[in-house]
Amino acid sequence: MDIRRPVWAEIDLSALQRNYDRIATLTSSEMMPIVKADAYGHGALQVVQALYEKGARRFGVALLEEAIELRKAFQDIKLVLIGTLPMDSIEMIVKEGIICGVYRLEQAVLLSKEAKKQGKQAVIHLKVDTGMGRIGFREENWEELFDCLKLPNLFVEGIFTHFATADHADLGFAQEQLKKFLELTDKIKTKGAHIPIRHAANSGALLQLPEAHLDLVRPGIILYGLAPSQYIGKDIGLEPVLSWRARISHIKTVPQGETISYGRTFRTAYPTRVATIPLGYADGLRRSLSNRGEVLVKGRRATIIGRVCMDQTLLDVSKIPDVQMEDEVTLLGTDGYDRIDVDEMASWLNTINYEIVCGIAKRVPRVYRK
């Protein structure tokens, strides 16, 4: 049985592929697309398939679960766990050949032991904290990092760091981070060790800091056609990949002076055409958009009135002629001559575009176009 919800996110895989091609022209380093959080809400399996067709063979994820899901579907790609290393799943990591970011000596020791037990070589990338302050070996732990290089059954394929401000206008701190990172990799070289892949660049650094491209780059948000921050111009030639739409589930006229939705926070100032759409905060349409967010109907703006509910939201469509049941409503994307982009919705909510796309709930079906 095929249930079709009148709410969906459209994912334009050709736009994703064009973004990939475009980004590839900006660097000569290997690209490792970041597909954590279900490819920023776009659907990891489909995104990986589309980028695989473009030649990508190595992908970055945050969770072991994400890596395992992808491993089941794709056997000949490399998967790098760039986030937290789950210490109780070392056996599975080694068995499935997941490459992991290591940021503590005891992790390397455990991986080495487990790999020995399985008669394998575990592949790792060492994570270095040069100023993000999240995970990674800090300068005071560099001796421990050097110890990781001596462990048996362990191949240190890569070493990486992460920028805190590569998407800012002022790149001073990012440059300091890079300097510290290169100081470390030089030190490793003088010790006679060779780590083939050094990497640091997220989307911000990919666009703004070519000297940080090194051997591999880790684009995330730009693949999905979104700018890493407001400091980076929108003219980077990338196309948004995701649109979000719904169909009107009910329409009626409410007389002047009546209230709408929970808490009675909205009162009609005139006889109001009220359209209901069948999605709400359980779908990721944030409740703080109550009485302020906008959507597009027939290419024109309609305001969200009253509180956004869990599964339903109300719109004032009084000024848009001839709105009918089942008409399409655009929450994100283009309709006619107007468009609501992820950045605009993010600005209403005082957040960043990343949080908006990751926040579209799993229960919103993704519809793929090519």
Residue 162 makes contact with ligand PLP by CB under 6 A: yes
262 is catalytic: yes
Q: Single out the segment in contact with ligand PLP by CB under 6 A; choices: 173-181, 197-205, 313-321, 344-352.
A: 197-205
Interface with ligand PLP (CB under 6 A), residue from 7, 11, 31, 34: 34
Kindly state the tokens that stand for 179: 């300097």
Residue 219 makes contact with ligand PLP by CB under 6 A: yes
- Residues near ligand PLP (CB under 6 A), total: 12
Give the neighbor-by-neighbor strand order of the sheet with 122-128: 30-31, 216-217, 197-201, 154-161, 122-128, 99-102, 78-81, 58-61
Which residue spans within 133-267 are E strands per DSSP?
154-161, 197-201, 216-217, 242-247, 250-254, 259-260, 266-267
Q: Which of residues 62-101 bind ligand PLP (CB under 6 A)?
A: 82
Residue 310, marked binder: yes
CB count in 10 Å sphere of residue 72: 10
Residue 220 makes contact with ligand PLP by CB under 6 A: yes
Contact between 34 and 60 under an 8 Å Cβ cutoff? The reply is yes
Residue 242 makes contact with ligand PLP by CB under 6 A: no
Nearest approach in angstroms of CB 254 to ligand PLP is 43
Nearest approach in angstroms of CB 231 to ligand PLP is 13
CB count in 10 Å sphere of residue 301: 14
Interface with ligand PLP (CB under 6 A), residue from 165, 203, 208, 243: 203
Interface with ligand PLP (CB under 6 A), residue from 107, 112, 202, 268: 202
Task: Give the number of C-alpha atoms closer than 13 A to the C-alpha of residue 274, restricted to the C-beta side.
Answer: 22
Nearest approach in angstroms of CB 353 to ligand PLP is 10
Contact between 71 and 80 under an 8 Å Cβ cutoff? The reply is no
Residue 245, marked binder: no
Contact between 97 and 116 under an 8 Å Cβ cutoff? The reply is no
Nearest approach in angstroms of CB 27 to ligand PLP is 13
- Of 95, 120, 179, 262, which is the active-site residue? 262
- Of 20, 36, 103, 354, which is the active-site residue? 36
Q: Where are the alpha helices (DSSP H) in 194-322?
A: 203-208
Kindly report the length of the chain: 370
Q: Single out the segment in contact with ligand PLP by CB under 6 A; choices: 199-207, 250-258, 289-297, 307-315.
A: 199-207
CA distance 175 to 187: 18
Nearest approach in angstroms of CB 162 to ligand PLP is 4
Residue 353 makes contact with ligand PLP by CB under 6 A: no
CA distance 204 to 228: 6
103 is catalytic: no
Catalytic positions, please? 36, 262
Q: Which residues bind ligand PLP (CB under 6 A)?
A: 34, 36, 82, 162, 202-204, 218-221, 228
Residues of the binding site? 134, 310
